[in-house]
Amino acid sequence: MTTVVTKALMEEIERDVRNRLRRHIIKRGGAPEYEDEAIFERVRASLGRAVDERNPDALLLPELLDSDVEWELQTHLRLSTHRPVVGRLILFVKRRVLLPMTRWLFEYSQENFRRQQRINAVLFACIEELAIENARLRERSDV
């Protein structure tokens, strides 16, 4: 019996999936440039690299954003008080009474915030991927 090589088989399956995806997007009125298989493949590869290969915790754009501006989503609820004396009591009431009563709303929002945070990271990665490609092209055209 001949050996089945996973990587080779996956290349075949991935090619089929890409072709189906391209036809599906064109059928639904997507970018006419995708009639050209090579262009579609280049776009898909760029975006695919951003989604699959970029580490969302090591991107340039978030570092460049003004650190004074609270731009990051706060997905965890942080309960605090500025009152030095009754602060502990207030925190206790917030944690043990108010939070349990509104937990369903908190959990619903938290899940959506997490999704949004993931999308933000993916979009940052896409922009970075395109910027890298642009820098490479510029470097080549300058030579």
Binding site for another protein (CB under 8 A): 1, 3-7, 9-10, 13-14, 16-17, 20-21, 48, 52, 57-58, 72, 74-76, 78, 95
Query: What does the block give as tokens for 34?
Result: 């995708």
Q: Which residues are CB-contacts of 66 (< 8 A; sequence separation ≥ 6)?
A: none
- Cβ distance to another protein smaller for residue 99 or 135: 99
Minimum distance, C-beta of residue 50 to another protein, in the bound complex (Å): 13
Output the DSSP codes for 34-94.
GGSHHHHHHHHHHHHHHHHTS-TTS-HHHHHS-TTS--S---S-------TTTHHHHHHHI
Minimum distance, C-beta of residue 138 to another protein, in the bound complex (Å): 29
- Cβ distance to another protein smaller for residue 107 or 138: 107
Query: What does the block give as tokens for 28?
Result: 């639904």
Specify whether the CB–CB gap between 113 and 44 falls below 8 A: no
Minimum distance, C-beta of residue 86 to another protein, in the bound complex (Å): 19
- Cβ distance to another protein smaller for residue 57 or 139: 57
- Cβ distance to another protein smaller for residue 67 or 141: 67
Minimum distance, C-beta of residue 29 to another protein, in the bound complex (Å): 19
Measured distance between the N- and C-terminal CA atoms of the chain, rounded to whole angstroms: 53
